[in-house]
Amino acid sequence: MKIKFAPSLMCMDLMRVQEQVSILNERCDLYHVDIMDGHFVKNLSLSVDFVKGLRQITNLPIDCHLMVTNPEQYIDPLIKAGADFISLHSETISGQAFRLFNKIKQADCKCGVVLNPETSLEAVKPYLNYLDLLTFMTVDPGFAGQNFIAETIKSINEAALWKVRNTYSYILAVDGACNKHTFLELADAGTECFIVGSSGLFNLDEDLNIAYDIMMQDFRQSLAAKK
């Protein structure tokens, strides 16, 4: 599988959305949109209305990451807004997981699940066959710029092995501190989609074209260092 890159748009310059999206439309594979409610995480970020506006200026897939206490309240509005993936936190869907997955898939939308760093892969084992996207947080959810939590590598590698062993179809993604210091370790563990934020992309240069070039150079050099 070709490695994918998904800019985390909460880290972009929100005063230059149209300009930056026009650059990213030519370069990245999909967009990652964090939606927070101030309860599940102590932060507020992007919104359903942001997704609706983004859909009007891009044809790329949009992954909506729901860091919210009641994800069921967001599914219908996000489908209507044009989301391609809806990613639910495993910690918020106990007792309703299969019902929510079916609702998402019946709307011809793709289904994702996100795990916090301390959440065991065993917690999502019953429904891995449902998933189109499986995302591991390698930082605590809610805020950009945190330090990488190395203990997550074991779970990422385990999920990659389970995917091969059981012919699951999910894309294995990582969210948090994806940058030149972690690219190699994450790639070796089986990461297929890097969600890049402040340290991996947006803070590399004020010119987003240059920043993207730096990111790709960092990625290639990281992998080349292993040889």
- Collapsed DSSP state (helix, strand, coil) of residue 173: strand
**Is residue 182 within 8 Å of residue 138, measured between CB atoms?**
yes
Q: Is 140 a catalytic residue?
A: no
Q: Is 175 a catalytic residue?
A: yes
Q: Cα 13 from chain centroid?
A: 18
**Per annotation, catalytic residue among 13, 29, 34, 63:** 34
Cα 163 to Cα 81: distance, rounded to the nearest angstrom? 31
Residues 6+ apart with CB under 8 A from 133: 63, 85, 87, 110, 111, 112, 113, 170, 171, 173, 193
**Per annotation, catalytic residue among 37, 140, 175, 218:** 175
Cα 81 to Cα 184: distance, rounded to the nearest angstrom? 35
Tell me the backbone φ, ψ of residue 142, rounded to 5 degrees.
125, -30
Q: Among all residues, which ones are annotated catalytic?
A: 34, 175
